[in-house]
Amino acid sequence: MTIQVGDSLPNANFNVLDDGVRTVDTESVFRDRKVVLFGVPGAFTPTCSAKHLPGFVEAMPEFDRRGIEVACLSVNDAFVMRAWADAAEVPPGIRMLADGNGEFTRALGLEMDATAFGMGMRCKRFALYAEDGVVRLLNVEAPGEFRTSSAEHVLAQLD
């Protein structure tokens, strides 16, 4: 079942790459914070690299102004997420969360089968806004779409 507005985010672990691979959990990312989490089907994929991630990079000052943290989620490993962040010049304010085995993605009910494209199980394109780990806004894109999960759309909804 897909997570809904009003639900608490499920407990899961993510990997991030700092001086080495480090595990962070849902609570450390979302507890006592306002966070926009956007999920992408894959690092370095066309729409994700040309539109989705750059939109959040560009909008980061506005999220900062509102006291909202930003995190990007993908079913990739921490090394790929770090390489993507470096290539896209992602500022430190955007957390790049690797959900390598897709456990968090499945717990959200936002997994998609991309085996026809040689990608295996991936994350649907989405954006959610959570306060203290509770979902307050959720936008899940239809396959092949990129509209409601954009930074601009999320900011407009938060006005």
pLDDT band at 23 (very low <50, low <70, confident <90, very high): very high
What residues contact 91, with CB distance under 8 A and at least 6 apart? 57, 60
Tell me what pLDDT residue 19 has: 81
pLDDT band at 66 (very low <50, low <70, confident <90, very high): very high
Look up residue 13 and give its amino acid.
N
CB atoms within 10 A of CB 105: 22
Strands 13-17 and 134-140: unpaired
Average pLDDT over residues 95-124: 92
CATH of domain 13-158: 3.40.30.10
Convert the pLDDT of each residue in 111-156 to its tens digit: 998 888 878 788 999 999 999 999 999 999 998 899 999 999 999 9
The kind and range of the H/E element at 128 are strand 126-131
Tell me what pLDDT residue 113 has: 86
Task: Name the percent of the chain lying above pLDDT 90.
Answer: 86
Is residue 134 a contact partner of residue 51, using CB atoms and an 8 Å limit?
no
Name the active-site residue from 16, 36, 43, 48. 48
Find the range with the poorest average confidence among 33-37, 43-47, 69-73, 114-118: 114-118
Tell me what pLDDT residue 118 has: 76
16: helix, strand or coil: strand
Tell me what pLDDT residue 153 has: 98
Average pLDDT over residues 88-117: 93
CA distance 36 to 80: 21
Identify whether 72 is a catalytic site residue. Answer: no
